[in-house]
């Protein structure tokens, strides 16, 4: 069955370290998204991509970067982790032209100490 996976599921890192969160989908979806979820803030869009080599900034992109070298993967990198980036991160994907129906991964809980 097609699916979307995230790894690791839990990560503890130190302030200032570079961290990469993986997202892999097997639906062959063109659209992929990264969100962070914090209490009281719902889901906030970090970066998104509409296809290979396409990346776009979301509303909370500072301190994060993504690259899209193939259809299946959109890794999220925290260049220099900060305590404010402690959060639960969700990756999602959607079919081209149907971005409003997004399929979410299980999430990665990141703690920055």
Partner 1 sequence: QQQVKQSPQSLIVQKGGIPIINCAYENTAFDYFPWYQQFPGKGPALLIAIRPDVSEKKEGRFTISFNKSAKQFSLHIMDSQPGDSATYFCAASDLSTNAGKSTFGDGTTLTVKP
The contact set with partner 1 (CB under 8 A) reads 31, 33, 35, 40-45, 48, 50, 90, 92, 94, 96-107
Q: Minimum distance between the CB of residue 68 and partner 1, rounded to whole angstroms?
A: 13
Please state the closest distance from residue 74 (CB atom) to partner 1, in A.
12
Residue 10, classed as helix, strand or coil, is strand
Strand (E) or helix (H) holding 22 = strand 19-25
Which positions ≥6 away from 40 have C-beta within 8 Å? none
C-beta of 65: minimal distance to partner 1 in Å?
19
Q: Which is nearer to partner 1, 77 or 88 (CB)?
A: 88
Q: Are 23 and 32 in contact (CB under 8 A)?
A: yes
């Amino acid at each position: 069955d097609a699916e979307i996976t995230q790894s690791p599921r839990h990560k503890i890192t130190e302030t200032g370290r570079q961290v990469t969160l993986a997202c892999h989908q097997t639906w062959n979806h063109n659209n992929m998204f990264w969100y962070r979820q914090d209490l009281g803030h719902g889901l906030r869009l970090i970066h998104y991509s509409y296809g290979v080599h396409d990346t776009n900034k979301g509303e909370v992109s500072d301190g994060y970067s993504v690259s899209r070298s193939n259809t299946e993967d959109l890794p999220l990198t925290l260049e220099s982790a900060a305590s404010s980036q402690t959060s639960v991160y969700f990756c999602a994907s959607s079919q081209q032209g149907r971005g409003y129906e997004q399929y979410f991964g299980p999430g990665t809980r990141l703690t920055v100490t």
